[in-house]
Structure 1
Amino acid sequence: MLSTVTSLHLPPLNHTDSHTHRPNSQNLTTHLLHNFSSPLELKQLHAHLIKTNTPLTSLPLTRIAFVCSLNPSFSYAQKIFKHLENPEILAWNSCLKAFAEGKDPIDAVMLFYQLQSFHVLPDSFTLSFVLKACTRLLDVSNGRVLHGYVEKLGFQSNLFLMNMILNLYALCGEVRDARLLFDKMSHRDVVTWNIMMTQLVKRGDIKEAYDLFSRMPKRSVRSWTLMISGFVQCGKPKEAISLFLEMEEAGVRPNEVTVVAVLAACADLGDLGLGRRIHEYSNQSGFSRNARISNTLIEMYVKCGCLEDASTVFDGMKERTVVSWSAMIAGLAMHGQAEEALRLFSRMIQTGMDPNDVTFVGLLHACSHIGFVAQGREFFTSMTNDYGIVPRIEHYGCMVDLLSRAGLLQEAYEFITNMPIKPNSIVWGALLGGCKVHRNIELAEEATKHLSELDPLNDGYYVVLSNIYAEAQRWEDTARVRKLMRDRGVKKTPGWSSITVDGVIHEFVAGDEVHPQAQEIFQMWEKLVVKMKLKGYVPNTSVVLLDMEEDQKEKFLYRHSEKLALVFGLMNTGPGTPIRIMKNLRVCEDCHAAFKLISAIVNREIVVRDRNRFHCFKDGSCSCRDYW
């Protein structure tokens, strides 16, 4: 047995003391049992156990299986197992589990086929471990083979195995097979329904997912959260919040993932009341240390126009991620606080936190919204030179927006033509927006030519070009663009504004006369106009680009949706209460001028979130500094 000792690199036995001979022999055996790593060493150990009359039950079965699993000694391991009382499959299952969870799950699949060639009958655990390996590998081909074994061996009633197969089909994009299996399953639990719903949500089939959800006999918190998140992801925040309120009525406590989803819905809708309530619930539930929740809270408060609350959450975070810093920088940029955004970036760098590509989107937006052209150029260069970040299309769009807003339209156009990646509709749209501000018809036409190819059904670009022509009193061209829209089936997106009062969201469209308080709103607006004109207000009818009489233009102007929402808010909230309005389109010049005056007249803060940014009106001025 000297060869055994030499092969395993053991120190020689000490025979000088006969009293220590047995302990040393036992130590040798113990060492051999736990240190063999090849079939040859296993055979040497086997011989040693026979010679020392040590029972074979002391052999570590899992290690035998592991050492012999993928080599010609497989049959030798089988012979050892047959001398033991325990079923052979137990040892192989341990090895399969280790392979399935290890760095090379394909080994579990290979071992499974080797077991079959040696006629080792698999049990439910065998199949579950190999299915786990297939799931990690997204190996639907071998998954189908295992499905066949499940059917052949009569494991169809094993819900755990059936759920694993269902999940594998769904993850591999075989949704039709997954749905067929789902429909044929004789037994389903909440996990079964959740698996199917998860994949439908991922595919954007929210209608089918909700149909399943509505038919579930029993729902877990994961079920509710899946649907709430699904509605948020597909742009249906109203449905998400409605479902959350239903979840509360059902007595299901939200978890941390639910909280993130609902806060995201509140951010999209601007539902500050519910957002604050979720924030309070999060603190009471001990979720305050969850960085993802804190980051979503920052975004929610930012999008609801509560920058101070966002800062409070940010300042209270014990550990901030790059997402935290980026969200706060973007929030400051959206609210026109560019200088503060740049100072926060300096703080971020001083802490040793490296920025990412999203950070620079926020910084470039900050520069764009206030006209910091030089700083914007520096950031665009720095992101690559200093941080190795390759600019994405969003960064190029920000640069075009920055240059276009500043009136550097030719430079913006040349920047687009020299881009290393193909410009998209956002990039050309930024140039078109600058052309409207600076009344450059030639470049506007060039931008629109590209936009009509890239995004032919987007009404906004046609409307902007039409307005540019109208401002230049080129009415024939205006009519031509409108006709082109009709011919292509492009419909103008109606403008709407919303305001939340006492937890209820009220929506207004331009010229809205169906609201229950419509007449009172019109009467109060007329009173406000009188006070505004005393302070120098002159209706800017030039923004009404329609061929009508001047008095008709004024009436049309006074019925803009954001004006109606503002007056409704003044009528239905207490003195000093901030007014928060969400608008789907860009605020017009007249509304902007009117809101500045009204903020001073009624001594209220008015926050308007339009398609591009926030306008915070207070004491007769706006946070955008009229650069928008």
Structure 2
Amino acid sequence: MNRLSRHFTTSASSRALVLPCLLPNHSSGLFPNKILTLDPNQSLVQSFTRLSLHGPLSDAMAALETIDSRCLHAADPIDYLHLIKLCLSAGAADAGRRIHRHLTSAGYLPVLFLSNSLLGMYVRFGLIGDARQLFGDLPHRNVVSWTTMISAFIDIELGREALEFFVWMQRDGIRPNMFTFSSILRTCDTLKAVWAMHCCVIKHGLDSDDFVRSSLIDAHFRCGDSESGHLVFNEIITGDLVVWNSVIGGFAQTGNGHEALKLFRQMKRAGFLAKQATLTSALRACTGMVFLEMGQQVHGHLLKYKPDLILNNALLDMYCKCGSLEEAEVNFERMPEKDVISWSTMISGLAQNGRSLEALRLFDLMKAEGAKPNYITMVGILFACSHAGLVEDGWYYFRSMNQLFDIEPGSEHYGCMVDLLGRAGKLAEAVKFIHEMEFKPDAIIWRTLLGACRVHKNVSLAAYAAQEILKLEPGDEGTCILLSNIYADAKQWSYVEQMRKMMRDRGIRKEPGRSWMDVGKETHVFIAGDFSHAQMEGIGRELERLISKISNMGYVPDTEFVLHDLGREQKEESIRYHGEKMAIAFGMMNSTSGKPIRIMKNLRICGDCHAFAKLVSRTEGKLIVIRDPVRFHHFQDGACSCGDYW
């Protein structure tokens, strides 16, 4: 036993040693009036060791103050490491600063692992100024010191500073390690930067490290180079789960759901057990593809875990965006925890599936349960009002955003209001609203008005809206096509011909209407007037059967939606083979009993196909779900969830 230990040792029979916490002025606010009671069987230093490891923090800091006041320096440096961790656990930044002062005065800071621990502590507390000052004072730095600072800069979006430190560390003779590269790759926002860093990785011999490869894959995908990201993945001989997560997540986030799910299946065949991050990416892939059956299979994997909030939200989003509201509602009710994303997802899901009033009721419940709406929540609410024709409600929610929820309306909210007014036929009010907006309307706002002009056949206003769009986006093909269709709706064939000539001269081709559906593992695509499908003969017969059946209920083809100057018989023949009609007929031929027909479309459903789907759902007793680019239509028992307001 050394002299210092003997000096503070008491016998077992002695009373507990009580020492006042002698706090200097600069730390008197940390734990005021704290009295430290020591174990009579331990010295002060031994008690400090125990308290630093197990806490409580207040007692450990009191022991530190006593040690400091008596000018004792016998504590093991590891004790301070434990004490710093205790500060982090308690979120006690001031206590951390006090430890820093003690270590400086006691001469411990040349011990590099303590300096690095303090650096990490300051970074965790967001005290970048303190961290930078400490870093500058260090007589020696290692790769941990540099990497800590680089990561700190990246976390607060100071990419330039991070890159400067990355260069300086190498000039200082410090080689970056796997953690350095995984951090610095997050700053790369161009392909040129990614490839430069990729070369640097190879130069330092870390290109075979799975951790670095995972970061490289993320960087390539983030910059839109999915091919290179996949190539990096394919070069791995024995990748771990982190790498699989990166490549699956990369494809899911860049909209290549097919490849993401293909890799997800490969990963399972390779013997890897899908974790929550992988399952979240797989669900996002299913959401992007509107692939409900695969989403349900991924849901089956979730049952092996206790899903976290992120995974539950991804599952909820998948069911909403795949048009399966029943399953979405069940999962929403079962969620043990809900955040604003959960509520917003469910509200938007209800609105997009034609259940706007339920969306508004859920919003009231959300507020009653204390959840605060955000920017996205209000987009969903205004969308619900727009697609249900609730003009007064829409105005109320729009005006209350700032007053009640401190949310500044953005372009999406203004767009919803233009859509709300336009759908309701209040075109003059919509134009006035656009002109009085607090910022310059973008092409999306004018495009929304143009769509409303088509619905309400306002040709002159349509021409004005199209003109405004083309000022902002001179090469916009969709505007030319839509304006041509509006002229065709109005039977202004001379203007139609002028528009079509201009489109031919510019090489603009109208995007054909496509409808597609998944049967088994195969996707079947139907294009208006295209008879190339392998089962076309059977589809034609089924279509004839359905049309004959609904004609007995009063169905007459609505040729108003044929945008060509043709005779009535030609128009009826043209409209008979619209993609969604062929898809419905194919679905009737191939779907199992009790299972809905689910169809996706790239364009807005026309009125004739809408009427056709309603009547078929009634005569065949079949639920038909059609998703267009904006919303879902659920046809059942002769009615549509949109209430014929779309």
Query: For this structure pair, what is the TM-score category when the shorter chain's length is used for normalisation?
Result: 0.7 to 0.9
1:554 and 2:577 aligned = no
In the TM superposition, residue 448 of structure 1 has moved relative to its aligned partner by: 0.4
Match in the other structure for 1:336: 354
CA distance in 2, matches of 1:239, 1:99: 42
Match in the other structure for 1:529: 547
2:502 is aligned with what amino acid?
L
Match in the other structure for 1:103: 126
CA distance in 2, matches of 1:312, 1:162: 43
CA distance in 1, matches of 2:178, 2:187: 14
CA distance in 1, matches of 2:490, 2:112: 85
Mean Cα deviation higher: 413-422 or 310-319? 310-319
1:406-426 residue CA offsets vs partner (Å, 9 max, x unmatched) = 111000011001000121222
SS in 2 for 1:319: coil
> CA 1:457 to 1:268, structure 2 compared with 1: closer, same or farther past 3 Å?
farther
Is the contact between residue 607 and residue 617 of structure 1 (CA under 8 Å) also seen in structure 2? Answer: yes
> CA 1:485 to 1:128, structure 2 compared with 1: closer, same or farther past 3 Å?
same
Q: Which of 259, 273, 276 is the equivalent residue of 2:293?
A: 273
CA distance in 2, matches of 1:326, 1:142: 36
SS in 1 for 2:634: strand
Match in the other structure for 2:10: none
In the TM superposition, residue 96 of structure 1 has moved relative to its aligned partner by: 4.3
CA distance in 2, matches of 1:58, 1:361: 55
Is the contact between residue 166 and residue 182 of structure 1 (CA under 8 Å) also seen in structure 2? Answer: no
In the TM superposition, residue 123 of structure 1 has moved relative to its aligned partner by: 4.6
Matches within 5 A, 1:9-24: none
Mean Cα deviation higher: 544-553 or 435-444? 544-553
Mean Cα deviation higher: 329-338 or 105-114? 105-114
In the TM superposition, residue 522 of structure 1 has moved relative to its aligned partner by: 1.1
Q: Which of 597, 615, 620 is the equivalent residue of 1:579?
A: 597
1:505-541 residue CA offsets vs partner (Å, 9 max, x unmatched) = 2222222322211111112111222222222111122
Matches within 5 A, 1:317-328: 317-328=335-346
Bigger-Rg structure (1/2): 1
In the TM superposition, residue 230 of structure 1 has moved relative to its aligned partner by: 2.0
Is the contact between residue 601 and residue 629 of structure 2 (CA under 8 Å) also seen in structure 1? Answer: yes
1:300 is aligned with what amino acid?
M
1:539 and 2:557 aligned = yes
Match in the other structure for 1:251: 271
> CA 1:397 to 1:171, structure 2 compared with 1: closer, same or farther past 3 Å?
same
Match in the other structure for 1:415: 433
> CA 1:499 to 1:542, structure 2 compared with 1: closer, same or farther past 3 Å?
same
In the TM superposition, residue 171 of structure 1 has moved relative to its aligned partner by: 2.1
In the TM superposition, residue 92 of structure 1 has moved relative to its aligned partner by: 4.3
Is the contact between residue 100 and residue 106 of structure 1 (CA under 8 Å) also seen in structure 2? Answer: no
SS in 1 for 2:642: coil
> CA 1:602 to 1:164, structure 2 compared with 1: closer, same or farther past 3 Å?
same
CA distance in 1, matches of 2:618, 2:578: 20
1:593 and 2:611 aligned = yes
Greater length-normalized contact order (CA 8 Å, ≥ 6 residues apart)? 1
CA distance in 2, matches of 1:297, 1:7: 53
**TM-score normalised by L of structure 1:** 0.83
1:82-138 residue CA offsets vs partner (Å, 9 max, x unmatched) = xxxxx854554454444454533454444444444xxxx545555555555555564
1:475 is aligned with what amino acid?
W
Is the contact between residue 178 and residue 211 of structure 2 (CA under 8 Å) also seen in structure 1? Answer: no
> CA 1:479 to 1:99, structure 2 compared with 1: closer, same or farther past 3 Å?
same
Is the contact between residue 364 and residue 376 of structure 1 (CA under 8 Å) also seen in structure 2? Answer: yes
Match in the other structure for 1:171: 187
CA distance in 2, matches of 1:58, 1:322: 45
CA distance in 1, matches of 2:343, 2:182: 40
In the TM superposition, residue 575 of structure 1 has moved relative to its aligned partner by: 3.0
1:178 is aligned with what amino acid?
M
Match in the other structure for 1:210: 230
SS in 2 for 1:281: helix
SS in 1 for 2:387: helix
Is the contact between residue 471 and residue 542 of structure 1 (CA under 8 Å) also seen in structure 2? Answer: yes
Q: Matched residue pairs, number?
A: 586
SS in 1 for 2:457: coil
CA distance in 1, matches of 2:132, 2:159: 10
Is the contact between residue 351 and residue 384 of structure 2 (CA under 8 Å) also seen in structure 1? Answer: yes
Matches within 5 A, 1:105-504: 105-116=128-139, 121-133=140-152, 135-136=154-155, 138=158, 149=169, 153=173, 156=175, 161-165=177-181, 167-168=183-184, 170-171=186-187, 173=189, 174-187=193-206, 188-287=208-307, 290-504=308-522
Match in the other structure for 2:14: none
CA distance in 2, matches of 1:378, 1:279: 38
SS in 2 for 1:301: helix
1:452-511 residue CA offsets vs partner (Å, 9 max, x unmatched) = 133444433222211211122111111122223233333322221111222432222222
In the TM superposition, residue 243 of structure 1 has moved relative to its aligned partner by: 2.2
CA RMSD of aligned residues (A): 3.6
Is the contact between residue 443 and residue 472 of structure 2 (CA under 8 Å) also seen in structure 1? Answer: yes
CA distance in 1, matches of 2:291, 2:23: 72
SS in 2 for 1:528: helix
In the TM superposition, residue 240 of structure 1 has moved relative to its aligned partner by: 2.0
Mean Cα deviation higher: 305-314 or 457-466? 457-466
2:183 is aligned with what amino acid?
N
Is the contact between residue 283 and residue 295 of structure 2 (CA under 8 Å) also seen in structure 1? Answer: yes
> CA 1:90 to 1:242, structure 2 compared with 1: closer, same or farther past 3 Å?
closer
SS in 2 for 1:576: coil
In the TM superposition, residue 210 of structure 1 has moved relative to its aligned partner by: 1.7
> CA 1:101 to 1:558, structure 2 compared with 1: closer, same or farther past 3 Å?
same
Match in the other structure for 1:13: none
> CA 1:282 to 1:413, structure 2 compared with 1: closer, same or farther past 3 Å?
same
1:296-327 residue CA offsets vs partner (Å, 9 max, x unmatched) = 22222222221111111111122221222221
2:203 is aligned with what amino acid?
K
CA distance in 1, matches of 2:478, 2:117: 62
Mean Cα deviation higher: 137-146 or 521-530? 137-146
1:372 is aligned with what amino acid?
L
SS in 2 for 1:500: strand
CA distance in 1, matches of 2:99, 2:384: 63
> CA 1:8 to 1:197, structure 2 compared with 1: closer, same or farther past 3 Å?
same
> CA 1:277 to 1:200, structure 2 compared with 1: closer, same or farther past 3 Å?
same
1:620 and 2:615 aligned = no
Q: Which runs of 5+ in 1 are unaligned?
A: 11-22, 82-86
Is the contact between residue 68 and residue 77 of structure 1 (CA under 8 Å) also seen in structure 2? Answer: no
Determine what percentage of the aligned residue pairs are the same residue. 36
Mean Cα deviation higher: 356-365 or 454-463? 454-463
In the TM superposition, residue 617 of structure 1 has moved relative to its aligned partner by: 0.9
CA distance in 2, matches of 1:274, 1:93: 47
> CA 1:492 to 1:91, structure 2 compared with 1: closer, same or farther past 3 Å?
same
Is the contact between residue 319 and residue 327 of structure 2 (CA under 8 Å) also seen in structure 1? Answer: yes
> CA 1:472 to 1:247, structure 2 compared with 1: closer, same or farther past 3 Å?
same
> CA 1:354 to 1:125, structure 2 compared with 1: closer, same or farther past 3 Å?
closer
> CA 1:595 to 1:147, structure 2 compared with 1: closer, same or farther past 3 Å?
same
In the TM superposition, residue 166 of structure 1 has moved relative to its aligned partner by: 5.5
Is the contact between residue 447 and residue 469 of structure 2 (CA under 8 Å) also seen in structure 1? Answer: yes
Match in the other structure for 2:524: 506
2:410 is aligned with what amino acid?
R
SS in 2 for 1:522: helix
> CA 1:522 to 1:28, structure 2 compared with 1: closer, same or farther past 3 Å?
closer
**TM-score normalised by L of structure 2:** 0.81
1:29-59 residue CA offsets vs partner (Å, 9 max, x unmatched) = 999x977999xx97x855xx6xxxx979899
1:513-572 residue CA offsets vs partner (Å, 9 max, x unmatched) = 222111111121112222222221111222111233433322221221111111111111
Match in the other structure for 1:16: none
> CA 1:45 to 1:134, structure 2 compared with 1: closer, same or farther past 3 Å?
farther
In the TM superposition, residue 600 of structure 1 has moved relative to its aligned partner by: 1.3
2:636 is aligned with what amino acid?
K
SS in 2 for 1:238: helix
